[in-house]
Structure 1
């Protein structure tokens, strides 16, 4: 009976993800122009409860496991990668209060708004009584136009620590300035603008100590929800699982579009229908097998996460990093191969193929998707050196 109920919840959420993706695809050109998905898409993310799927059960959301979360991100990204980006980040950022002291957690979650963040510790924090005053400028705040809370990275020296820690104070969006500077090659619909904070006070219960969350995987109190899936996996590798799933969703759609574009195409140079030509048959076969290998790596990644504690926490952060970036690199290679095989016809703006290629390439530029960084770190760890990466 319980199994049947879980299946029903998953099916409901995946249907919601499909609707979000289809709406975002329909509005894609408007999002490109406005450098943000619309409020219509945001409202659907909320209405489907997808923005709440990673909250602890006590807050009433349809708490799901990591595999279901990955499927949701991939389903939306199949239709529109920018919408997939935010459908991933909004519920993901809802996990942040789960690592705060209970008072801060209750304040943020019970307010019910969306959360965005920038982890880069480029801001300044000054002690003020029981809290801190936060100042600085942060770029790449995805989804900040629709967020009620914004986590902004700073370094803080605590009395119980021998060196400064990277922290994420959670500010009210009403207390910061948003500078609309998001004018990019891809992922334009993510609305990843600049946030400016000027001497904003944040009480200690709203300051997330990322080092502690990563080291323990638990909230500060001893009596916590033992069933919450994020409390049993490494913080950063779990936090980053959406990026390769965006790439997978986009690549899956690109392959389908490539097949459709190729089936009736006749090349002028030899008059051969491409679906009958070994050239395109070979390309389709190769990108399909590449795609299947990327899917298998994603399954491997999720299995390593789910079994992390059972396996004695032995999977290194660099291994997670390398697997994740290999998936994204494979999807990027597929996108470039499709572009170069289709030729000039794939360059025209406004089509699904052109948009998907730009967005997949943009996913690959994210700090957590950089392939060269990941394999360098993994190689270090395979030879017994500490790479220093967080996942």
Structure 2
């Protein structure tokens, strides 16, 4: 029986990885259209749904295969190898679909059983006013990745509950039909993510659809006692687990970028000396350096997973700032590689439309996300190393 279950799981994982490759290849073929439209196409979204990748992190009660975090990251990395924007959404859709898993059962059932995609903005820039057994939500939020194809939108607010000493960041889950979307996503990179602005005006949200992030982070589980103990995202630190996709997006794109650099360099002859670059110590050294940097980033990612896995047994012993520092160092390695490739290839890497130019822009854009800012991460980690409380959430 155990062997049958292992074989079944192995088959599911194989199908998911093959599905990730199909999503990535489709997005790569449509990359220029996505650049023009500032969003991936509905074709890509439909394939994310068809492959069931949008549901891979749901609890098994709701049909999720409950794959482990390493497999989830591998799926994200495969898609990002072909197209970073598609990798971003292939990470965020199944990730955001886990949010109902931390809601009270009534809210969880409503959202998951509806079956739509979820996007969110964690920044608590909105307002919440008490109204009966719920709150009225208003505000304006930027960077709602994938909102054009979502049915639900989680929007960050601060709420002061009667059982709490101070206001806490919450994520009310609103119906997409209840908010206004402003198509303002006109950016340097990650254009295919369609990360547009969302406006809510006095939208009522019942309490069962308001995710209390502080409680989810503190306990690593939903509010009821009878819950799925095998769910891979319970009993690990909420934010460090939630953010694990960003470095894997960068790793997937960087792996492809190095391969493209090697191909572009092998037969290149520089006019200044007439030497084939593959035979030159210059490019040989660059290829060795960036490949080694990628190996170092891979090793850091493995360390990150080990810390998450150990947290299930050791109960949150790793400082949140350490997770933050590891993630951002991985992404810095990737951005350093991208810049090195750009400066080594020179003007040939500047022309729009090529895979190298697109990957460089997108990898640099991943590094601008608020959870990827290395100066913030190192300042926090250094504070914790000296025994002060950095206060970061992961």
- Structure 1 63/309 Cα, relative in aligned 2: closer, same or farther at 3 Å? closer
Matched, 1:339 2:338: no
Alpha-carbon offset, residue 307 of structure 1: 1.3
CA distance, structure 1, for counterparts of residue 331 and residue 316 of structure 2: 24
Partner of 1:43 in structure 2?
46
- 1:65-144 alignment to 2 at 5 Å? 65-144=68-147
- 2:263 maps to 260
Q: Which secondary structure does the structure 1 equivalent of 2:233 belong to?
A: helix
| Alignment-derived partner of residue 311 in structure 1 | 314
Counterparts of 1:243 and 1:36, CA distance in 2 = 19
Superposed displacement of residue 312, structure 1: 3.5
Match for residue 204 of structure 1 among 190, 197, 207? 207
Tell me which residue corresponds to 2:151.
148
Q: Does structure 2 conserve the Cα–Cα contact (< 8 Å) formed by 1:214 and 1:236?
A: yes
The answer as to whether partners of 2:180 and 2:199 remain within 8 angstroms in 1 is yes
Quick check: 1:97–1:109 contact (8 Å CA) kept in 2? yes
TM-score (norm. length: structure 1): 0.99
Q: Matched residue of 1:140: which SS?
A: strand
Greater shift in the superposed pair: 304-313 or 36-45: 304-313
Q: List runs of 5+ in structure 1 lacking aligned partners.
A: none
Q: Secondary structure at the match of 1:232?
A: coil
For 1:233 and 1:312, locate their aligned partners in 2 and report how far apart those are by CA, in whole Å. Answer: 8
Classify the secondary structure of the residue corresponding to 1:208.
strand
Q: Which residue of 1 aligns with 2:56?
A: 53
SS in 2 for 1:359: helix
In structure 2, distance between residues paired with 1:92 and 1:250: 19
Number of residue-to-residue matches in the alignment:
391
Which whole-Å CA distance do the structure 2 matches of 1:51 and 1:153 have between them? Answer: 22
Deviations 1:99-129 (A, max 9, x none): 0000000000000000000000000000000
What is the CA-CA distance between 1:8 and the residue it aligns to? Answer: 1.3
Task: Tell me by how many angstroms 1:3 deviates.
Answer: 2.1
Q: Distance in 1 between matches of 2:41 and 2:252?
A: 21
Whole-Å separation in 1 of the counterparts to 2:119 and 2:29 = 25
Give the Cα separation in 2 of the matches to 1:55 and 1:312.
Answer: 23
Distance in 1 of aligned mates of 2:319 and 2:146: 31
TM-score (norm: length of structure 2):
0.99
**Please, which runs of 5 or more residues in structure 2 have no aligned partner?**
none
Following superposition, the deviation at residue 63 of structure 1 comes to 1.7
- Residue 179 of structure 1 is matched in structure 2 by 182
Separation of aligned partners in 2, 1:212 and 1:313: 15
Work out whether 1:220 is the aligned partner of 2:223. yes
- Which residue number in structure 2 is paired with residue 277 of structure 1? 280
